[in-house]
Structure 1
Amino acid sequence: MSQPYLKIDQVGKTFSRRGVESEVLRDINLGVEKGQFVSIIGHSGCGKSTMLNLVAGLTQATTGGVILDNREVNSPGPDRAVVFQNHSLLPWLSVYANVRLAVDKVFSGAKTRAQRHDWTMHNLELVQMVHARDKRPSEISGGMKQRVGIARALAMEPKVLLLDEPFGALDALTRAHLQDSLMRIHGSLGNTVLMITHDVDEAVLLSDQIVMMTNGPAATIGEVLSVPLPRPRERLELAADPAYIGARESVLRFLYERQHFVEAA
């Protein structure tokens, strides 16, 4: 039996502060196939970001481990690019230079200077930001900043793109445009994506699978829902699609029941 491309295997995470231990995650088991788009959803405090940070190598598991493409993850690396809710662009650099910095870091020995320029421009084209290549972050909108952050991450050619609520701080219309862009990019590249979200509609629209987390402390995976919607997807057409409505209801029911459980405790 072949191993999944990304495997989170028996992972537990406990933080210790001033002698007090807090178990955030317990017995996390998840397999993600190459090219899949997987969303993680759950109430605040259920360890979603901790789970993403474990895959990114930004924190170490207390028990178990993470395996990507048959190699154990134990530190950050360019094969796992992260896009946070905060764009994290360097304010003194232009849009082009922010992306080029990542390209130079990853490909300085593999691509010529001209090739690195072409690759930078290619990734700006993917997110439709070539027109703003010479602007600094302070001169562009929040949605544009996130586009640049996604371009920078994609330019590293990561094995897995990790998204930590990348559209959470944006208005509804900008968020919808970026969701559509992300679907288009994923359809074009076929890349593997792991995304944290609080938005049920976003999870159903974008994902092949939705991982639903139980509440913390000691959160674990409650259910994994497959989304049986063919690609490419059009949001307006899906609004009345029975499979879309059914998936949305399943996630909402899970989250509502978990919240009800918390209130009753």
Structure 2
Amino acid sequence: MGYLRISRVGKTFESGSRRTEVLRDVDLTIDRGEFVSIIGHSGCGKSTLLNLIAGLTEATKGGIVLEGREVNAPGPDRAVVFQNHSLLPWLTVYGNVRLAVDKVFRGRKSRAERHEWTLHNLDLVQMRHAADKRPGEISGGMRQRVGIARALAMEPKVLLLDEPFGALDALTRAHLQDAVMEIHARLRNTMIMITHDVDEAVLLADRIVMMTNGPAATIGEVLTVPLPRPRDRIVAAGDPACLRARQAVLRFLHERHRLVAAAE
């Protein structure tokens, strides 16, 4: 059955008399604790698929089931980290994470327990030292760490990452990739990440889901990344299995690009 089951999902957007089929017949099963990357050219419906899993929009066809329950609305069992951190600028780092903790755990944890849980999740992303700062006082990479802490603090069954490092410089991006790998190794939570970065997908994921071009995009190939965990980016860079996985993804994306060029 699978932990997360995406069954024959299609999504069509309508605006007046205009209909745009973004996704068609998307079928995928994701196991508990698995890290899956979704990659494809712009316009292939990656973010739409993530929004469907998050419950932010409804499927036109098919359905999504998480641990036996249908996904048809947002819920704390699925937390999203967007490219834009979306922190509230008037709250401190602590306050932004505490807001999510209070929303999910009020009535289930005492005030003292919620305080400790907030600090615990800031520790996970190494941001306790900035607890009293506001978003405008910290770097972009730090803000993304806080966004990840806020999402983790909800104890979601699935953490959804929508190109969370896309706006960051290369060095900050590498540090956050390492942080996400450490968190995944420690918590063994289920993660689904959208990315345009082939190297990022290969380094982080257990499987890479490659989308065909839109409109009416679907899953073209699913590649298993046979790299043992824990992973080290320096070791992985020279690993033949890593190089083969990287070549396979690049080949797929290049072929899709060639098809677009041929159609123009």
TM-score, normalised relative to structure 2: 0.99
Query: For 2:173 and 2:160, how far apart are their aligned partners in 1?
Result: 17
Q: How many matched pairs?
A: 263
Q: Structure 2 matches for 1:133-152, cutoff 5 A?
A: 133-152=131-150
**What secondary structure sits across from 2:227 in the alignment?**
coil
Q: Does 1:261 align with 2:259?
A: yes
Q: Which residue of 1 aligns with 2:77?
A: 79
Q: Which residue of 2 aligns with 1:11?
A: 9
Q: Which residue of 1 aligns with 2:188?
A: 190
Query: For 2:165 and 2:72, how far apart are their aligned partners in 1?
Result: 28
Q: Which residue of 2 aligns with 1:240?
A: 238
Match 2:88 to one of 87, 90, 95:
90
Match 1:101 to one of 99, 102, 106:
99
Render the CA deviation track for 1:160-197: whole Å, top value 9, x for unaligned.
00000000000000000000000000000000001000
**What secondary structure sits across from 1:116 in the alignment?**
helix
Q: How far has the Cα of 1:19 moved from its partner?
A: 1.1
Q: Percent same amino acid at aligned positions?
A: 75
Match 1:132 to one of 130, 133, 138:
130
| Unpaired runs of at least 5, structure 2 | none
Render the CA deviation track for 1:130-167: whole Å, top value 9, x for unaligned.
00000000000000000000000000000000000000
Q: Which residue of 1 aligns with 2:205?
A: 207
**What secondary structure sits across from 2:174 in the alignment?**
helix
**What secondary structure sits across from 1:149 in the alignment?**
helix
Query: For 2:67 and 2:167, how far apart are their aligned partners in 1?
Result: 32
Detail structure 1 runs of 4+ shifted over 3 Å in the superposition. none
Match 1:227 to one of 225, 228, 238:
225
Q: How far has the Cα of 1:34 moved from its partner?
A: 0.1
Letter of the structure 2 residue corresponding to residue 221 of structure 1: I
Q: Does 1:110 align with 2:79?
A: no
Q: How far has the Cα of 1:32 moved from its partner?
A: 0.3
What's the C-alpha RMSD, in Å, of the aligned pairs? Answer: 0.3
Query: For 2:196 and 2:236, how far apart are their aligned partners in 1?
Result: 20
TM-score, normalised relative to structure 1: 0.99
